[in-house]
Structure 1
Amino acid sequence: MHALTMMDLVRTLLILALVYLAYIDMRTFRLPDAMTIPIIAAGLVFNYLPNLGLTSFPNAIAGAFLGYAFLWGLNFIYRWAKKQNGVGMGDAKLLAALGAWFGLSALPGILLVASISGLLGGLIWLRYQKQSIRSAFPFGPFLAVAGIIELLWPQILQTWFLNNPI
């Protein structure tokens, strides 16, 4: 198989997996380990292969580890302060998967896009569901969209900010 064709296939499969995870999370408020853990492993294996990876293997390992650790730590602090979970561990595993595919350097942009779209989309979701502002809403779809943006337009935020200083 030609290298470009292989890369297109990999991108398509990753996008389909992220869209499916977003759909599951919207319907069930769950991101199943049966999907997130294999995506983490696939990202690490893909970035280990020579001439195919989206980032270096050490960057992918750091992205997976710190992606999970960041949301786990955020939830730990929230749970300590509010006595309830604020972020699901499925979201942490999905961010770890995105870190495994795109590396540590992509995580800030992914989190920024997911957080801003999650804030706006969450308010729309809660209004549509006729729930209060304190009700939970799924964050996985926003992580998935941010991951797709990173896959199709890598490092778009960093490039934009470097070319358009504020």
Structure 2
Amino acid sequence: MQLPVLVQSAAVRQAVSDTLCGCPSVCLQGTDVFESRLLDVFLTLLQDQVNAVRMAATQSLRSLAKYLGTAWIRARLLPRLNARLVDRAASTYLQRITVLYAVRDVVTAPACADISDAFLPLLLTSFEDDVPNVQFVAVQAAAAALDAGTLTRAQIAEVHAALLKMGNTSKLDVDVRYFTEIALSKCA
């Protein structure tokens, strides 16, 4: 989606991202209104070339969950995020990292604990990414979820097993290995 000329400035895009999903007047009109008017803009901001704009968009996910509900996040947003993460040929590593930051922001929010099971596969899949930066962010997101206490015992066991498998990979980047060990210590 091409943004209007007014939003070509990175500062304007960041301001739009900061206020877009935290705007209760639009979100309170319902999911249909948000989807028809703002969802494409929100998804475009997640792919922005400026990191601050992408991060502002990921941080607004908590507001989306608050106003639109976790059921909407699970049914409508998660499949679109998953598609960006899984299709490595159609996404850049920066887009995959942005999705992982979004996942981190959702799974660490207490209000979103009921949908952490839906986001967990995205993290676990990212442990196997070929790009160390993606693995690094995935491990940090997993550690943040473990710290937040929003994962069940079964989910913690899944994360633990995936981290052990990842840690036993001989080609693992030294920094990723270090943070994998830190995340493993949080599984106890």
- Same fold, TM-score > 0.5, yes or no: no
Bin of the TM-score, shorter chain as denominator length: 0.3 to 0.5
